Structures are given as C-alpha cells and as structure tokens.
Amino acid sequence: MRKRFLAAARKAIANPVLQQALDNNATRRLASRAAAFDSLPDPDAFKTEARHIRQETLAHLDQYLSAFRANLEEQGVRVYMAREAEEACRIAVDIARRSGASHVVKSKSMVSEEIGLNLAFERAGIQPVETDLGEFIVQLRGEHPGHIITPAIHLLREQVAETFAEALGMPYSTDVAAMNAAAHAALRPGFLDATVGVSGVNFGVAESGTLCLVTNEGNGRMVTTLPGVHIALMGIERLVPTLGDLAVMLQLLPRSATGQKLTSYISLMHGPGGANGPNERHLILVDNGRSALRRSELQEALLCIRCGACLNACPVFREIGGHAYGSTYPGPIGSLVSPGLFGFERYGHLTKASTLCGACREVCPVEIDFPTLLLRARHRYTREVTQPVLSRLGMRLFAWAATSPSRFKWLQRVAFLATRLLPRRAGWIRAAPFPLAAWTASRDFPPFAARTFRRRPLQAWTSAPASKDAGPPPTKDLKTPEPSPPPADLLARFAQELRSVDGQFLEAPSESAPEALLAWMHENRVHRLLMDPQVETQFPEISWALQQAGIELVRPHLDAGMDQAARKAALEAYDQVEAGLTLAAAGLADTGTIVQPGHANLASLLPRRHFALLPAKSLHPSLADWLASLQAKGLRSEPSWTLITGPSRTADIEMTLTIGVHGPAELLVVVLT
C-alpha cells in the first residue's frame, strides 16, 4: 500500500494540470476562509466552544444517540443502526427496493462513498445518480472524489467539457455556465420522477431530533423534498446536543469549508409528510469502525465535522491531491480516520505522509490536535504493522548510540568517515548511498563535521559580560486589527449581507408590496406563481392583488396518497412555473438569510426566480437568536425548515462561481415595513 501511495504521489507531482488545480484550491480556499473568519467577533473563542461541544457529544455519545433516535422516531422517522458498511448498504438497498425504485437521486455524502453505496445500488439493479455537480462529473468519468468538499477539484474545465460532450451529448463547450446548464438539464427529469432520494447529514441535533444538511446547489433540497422516500445517512458521531450548539457549528462549517458565512441552503429536517415533502424519511446511522475509534487513542479525530479545511491547508495535499491517498478521506483528517476506521494494515502508512507542520491544526474549526494524533497513530502503526527491517534496525542502532555519549561520539565519527569521500560541490554532498540517497536525489546534503561541537574547546563558556545589551523595541505589529462592529440597524445589515450573496433586496410597506412585486414580475415576464399557502393566509390582500393583475397562482401540493406517476406529473407541472412566492418565517440579519418552513419548500426551490416576503418584525440578529427564540419544540412544529442565503450556486468546475444550479438563480426578498 505504501508503495502504491508513493507511486501515486509521484504521478500527481508530475501532472501539471493537477498541480495548477491544487495550487488554486489552496490559495483561494485559504484566503476566503481567512476573510470569512475575520467576520467573527472572536474566532478562537468560537473554535474552542465548538471543540467543547463536540467533546461533550463524544463523551456521552450513547446518551445523545438514544435521545436523538427517540426524538426522530417520535416524529415518524425510521431509524436504523448499521454496524458495518455492508449492513448500511443492505438497509438502504432494501428500502429502495421496497419503494420500487429504478434509480435513486443522491446529494453529496462522504459516508455513502465510505460504505460503497453506489456499487451496492448498482449490484441491486438500481441506478444511483449523483446530483452534486462535482460528484456528477466524477461519476460520469468513473472516478472518485478528489476532495471531500470539491469532488472535481482535480479536473480542468476542458476535461469536464469533454466528459459532458461525450456523456450528455452537449456540444463541446468550456463555458462553465453552459456546462452547469447542461448538468441542470440532464439531472432535472431524474429529480422529478425519483422515488427515492439519498442524502448525507452534516449535523444531527439530539434535543430536537433535527437532521441538518448544508448545501449550495439546491440538489440536496431536491433529493430530500421531491422523492416520496428520503434516506439519510450519517456517521454516528455527527451529533450535537442542542440547537444552540448547532448554531455555533453552523458559524464554523461553511466558513471553514468554502469561506461562506452560511451556505445558500441549510435544511433542518424532521418527520416526513406535509404537502411539500417526502412521505417517508429513513435515517441510517453508520458505525463502521467509529465505536472502535472512539475507544482508541485517536478518539479526537471523531470531533471532525468534515469541512475540508485541513486538506486545503496541508502542504502535502497541495502536492499530491486527494486520489493519491487511496481512501475516501484524504489529507490530514484522512491520515487519521482511514487507518482508524479501515485498519492500519491498509492505511497505516498514511500516518507518515505528513511533516507534522501543524497547518491543519491551525485551521481546524474544532481544534483537532493533528500533529499529536498523527504521532500516536504512527506509534500504533509501528506496533501493529511490521516495519521494514532496515528502518527498525536503524532506529534501534541510533537509540543505542544516543543513550551513551561515548557511543554517540563513535556514531558521529562513523558518519563523518563514511561520508568523507562522497562527491561534493562547494563543500556539500551531491550524491550519497542509502539512507541518504533519497535526500541527495534532489537536494545537497551538508558534510558531517570533522570536529563536532562537543569536541571544540569553547572559550568564555561561563564568563559573562556585565551589561545586558538593550536594543530598540520591536516595531512590527503582527496582529491584524479588530473587524469593524456590525451596523446597529438590523434591516440595513440584512440588506447588505443579502446583496453580498447576490440576493436582491426591496423594502416596501405592506400596502404597496403588490405594486412592487407586480412591477418586478412584469419586468421578468412572470405570469404564473408557485405559491406558499402562508402568503394567502397571512396576506390575502397581496394574493388578491396578484390575481386581479392576471397572475395565475399555482398551489403546490404533494399528497401522501399520490402514486409515483401522480407525484411525478404534479412535480413536472410545478417545475414549469416561472417564479415562486413565499412568506419567510424569519430573517437573519448577520448573514442575509431568510428562513422558510417546509410548506414553502417547492415554491422556494423549483422555479428559477424566488420572491420572498419578509415582515420586518421577523428579523433576528443571527441564527443563534432565531433558534433560541424557537427552542426545540418550536422547531419541531414544522417537518422541515430551510435557511436560504442567496440564490443557489456552485463552484465545482475550476472553482468558477455560477449562480443558479438546481435551486433558483434569482432571489428577491421584499421586506414589509
């Protein structure tokens, strides 16, 4: 395995396309992460708090898991515990079979990669369709993700264009927007007639039984909303105790992963049902080695929230990319969890694929002490897996020599004599035999000293000049200034943040809202609206005015009694409507986010344009404030919630941002004052 890793690393280094992509990833991701963290008042305090939350979760995992399960089951979610990968796959395949699925639509899930779910579906004659753009590209090419957040990181737009031309029959084009549009068109029918959707889970909340999914493109919302059956997969460790804890984690995950304050969509899901959601929701909790890892010296690796920041910061990942690691989880976190979950025999060598530089620890949002854990893992590796004879003997010899000064002196002498006649240039050794050959293949090596430090008569050892020299005081200020305080006015802040994520903001008194909306709709040639029923209940005068103006109002409704054909026909009809109008339950000022309850799912997801009404009094300073105002009970009163921060987006092809993927391309928020 180690040989294969080194060969793959060499290949990666020699691949200029990959090198360019990895450089881009490292520099841009780290810069946007740093900028996003600057917007937190005290990033380090947040990280420490997040660490405590995750530590508390792991310390009492059994207790939180049973509360989580009980809360989910009470809401009608079917919960399964899978000890191993095969078991998890079997459960998922059985559910899909029972539902009569010929294909399943999937949003990105690393756990599904880990357990090999796609292969299991294929073997059962069920076609798995990856719908995250990056995963879709990788699946079309028969590859695996090159990064846990950016699956197609290793590809240039030309390669994607070739793949799309071949697999989708689109004319060859390297225009990223055109390629996104092609993926959109290719995936749309699959969304609308899928019986089963499969997703991962970013966090489970124990106290409320909430499944939280963090996405950008809108495909995650599609697969958890449109099909009649939703199967969620989740590692058993991905819990937080409370909603307040979730608010902390959500401040850190998008910032660490993509440099966003919040992603476009955050889904908070409870039971099935409702006119805008699936009829069945299943959760498969996957252990697959986690319990054993939790009992080991690498337990801390389970704090991970899979943000991928350690990959972006890792200088080794930057040289070799994700595939070289040969595991679902590459980079620093992979070098811990791959051996930790899947065995040291197969993956122990990865523990040594690090310089222990600590860049990963520095960016980790839960402050995982990577260098220490990697060292512990190396120790375990040398104990459990037979090491090459030469390195074992070499280390023993060195330790024997270094536990006695006279033997050490002898070793220094041997090193000097043995290297004395090696070829040199300008004094340094140019070529050496084993064990220095690997060094001198690419670097000169300094000569061993004829007279070591310990052999030198060092004058003035203990003498001490009386005066302490005093030089100039330090001049360089290495600390960055504090970020400026947020504007006091919530509305102004909301508008500013919404615009910064490409959303549009309009402020109108309730009575003139219809006028403003109609003007907007006229300008965009919108004649039909997919309606959130709450608009008609809460603002009948608005829906009345729209109808008077000749706008057709379509009220989406998915009935649990519908058969698959009827559900598909309904969805296809809704999908034709040009725009959706919803009433937001809340606005979050510090991120420009609107909060939509589940009954607004379809209206806020299917059309290209999304208009949302937001009463000014529903503005909250932040996500934490909103969650605190609701409490678990209030949150559970809806089968699901979606936090929407700007239009849907992706940057999966060469990190080029495209607005509008599976969700709306335009978001207009009308704040009613």
Partner 1 sequence: MKVQLLITCLLDSLFPETGEAVVRVLNRAGLGVEFPPGQTCCGQPAFNAGFWDEARAMAWHTIQVFAGREGPVVVPSGSCTAMIRHGYLELFAGDPEKLNAAQALAGRTYELSEFLVDEIQIAGLPGRYEAHLAYHPSCHLLRGLGVERQPLQLLQAMEGLHLEMLSPECCGFGGVFSVDHAPISAEMARRKVEEIERLSVEGVVAGDISCLMQIEGALRRSGSDARCAHLASVLAMQPLGLR
* Footprint of partner 1 on 286-315 (CB under 8 A): 315
Position 466, amino acid: A
Closer residue to partner 1, CB minimum distance, 362 or 563: 362
Closer residue to partner 1, CB minimum distance, 304 or 353: 353
Q: Rounded to a whole number, what is the distance in angstroms from the first to the last CA of the chain?
A: 64
Q: How far is the CB of 113 from partner 1 (least distance, A)?
A: 24
Strand order in the sheet with 280-286: 78-82, 280-286, 229-235, 196-199, 103-106, 127-130
Of 80-88, 460-468, 601-609, 664-672: span binding partner 1 (CB under 8 A)? 460-468
Closer residue to partner 1, CB minimum distance, 117 or 353: 353
Closer residue to partner 1, CB minimum distance, 350 or 551: 350
525 sits near partner 1 (criterion: CB under 8 A): no
Site for partner 1 in 247-286 (CB under 8 A): none
Using alpha carbons, select from 365, 152, 151 the residue that is nearest to residue 255.
Answer: 365
- Name which position in 460, 484, 525, 565 contacts partner 1 (CB under 8 A): 460
Q: How far is the CB of 446 from partner 1 (least distance, A)?
A: 5
Q: How far is the CB of 39 from partner 1 (least distance, A)?
A: 22
- Name which position in 122, 428, 489, 547 contacts partner 1 (CB under 8 A): 428
- The HSE-up count of residue 634 (CA atoms within 13 Å, CB side) is 8
- Name which position in 97, 244, 296, 448 contacts partner 1 (CB under 8 A): 448
Position 187, amino acid: L
Q: How far is the CB of 326 from partner 1 (least distance, A)?
A: 15
Tell me the β-bridge partners of 215: 265
Cα of 261 vs its chain's centroid, Å: 13
**Number of residues in contact with partner 1 under rule CB under 8 A:** 84
Q: How far is the CB of 232 from partner 1 (least distance, A)?
A: 37
Q: What one-character DSSP code corresponds to residue 664?
A: -
Rounded-to-integer distance, Cα 238 and Cα 65, Å: 10
Q: How far is the CB of 338 from partner 1 (least distance, A)?
A: 16
Site for partner 1 in 407-426 (CB under 8 A): 408, 412, 415, 425-426
Closer residue to partner 1, CB minimum distance, 476 or 633: 476
| Phi, psi angles (nearest 5°) of residue 547 | -65, -40
Q: Show Cβ contacts of residue 107 under 8 Å, excluding neighbours closer than 6 positions.
A: 131, 132, 197, 198, 199, 200, 213, 215, 219, 220, 222, 223, 224
Closer residue to partner 1, CB minimum distance, 299 or 372: 372
- Name which position in 40, 167, 170, 356 contacts partner 1 (CB under 8 A): 356
Of 178-186, 449-457, 566-574, 661-669: span binding partner 1 (CB under 8 A)? 449-457
Site for partner 1 in 168-227 (CB under 8 A): none
Closer residue to partner 1, CB minimum distance, 315 or 634: 315
Site for partner 1 in 467-506 (CB under 8 A): 467-476, 478
Q: How far is the CB of 150 from partner 1 (least distance, A)?
A: 20
345 sits near partner 1 (criterion: CB under 8 A): no
- Name which position in 17, 70, 438, 566 contacts partner 1 (CB under 8 A): 438
Tokens matching residue 153:
């990181």
Q: How many CB atoms are closer than 10 A to CB 541?
A: 11
Using alpha carbons, select from 189, 200, 292, 229 the residue that is nearest to residue 78.
Answer: 229
Closer residue to partner 1, CB minimum distance, 27 or 66: 27
Cis peptide before 486 (omega within 30 of 0): no
431 sits near partner 1 (criterion: CB under 8 A): no
Cα of 501 vs its chain's centroid, Å: 19
| Percentages (nearest 5) of helix, strand, coil residues in the chain | 50, 15, 35
457 sits near partner 1 (criterion: CB under 8 A): no
Rounded-to-integer distance, Cα 470 and Cα 192, Å: 76
Site for partner 1 in 385-404 (CB under 8 A): 391-392, 395-396, 398-399, 401-404
Indicate if the alpha-carbon torsion angle 7, 13, 15, 20 is positive or negative.
Answer: positive
x/- letters, 63..102, toward partner 1 (CB under 8 A): ----------------------------------------
13 sits in which H/E element: helix 2-13
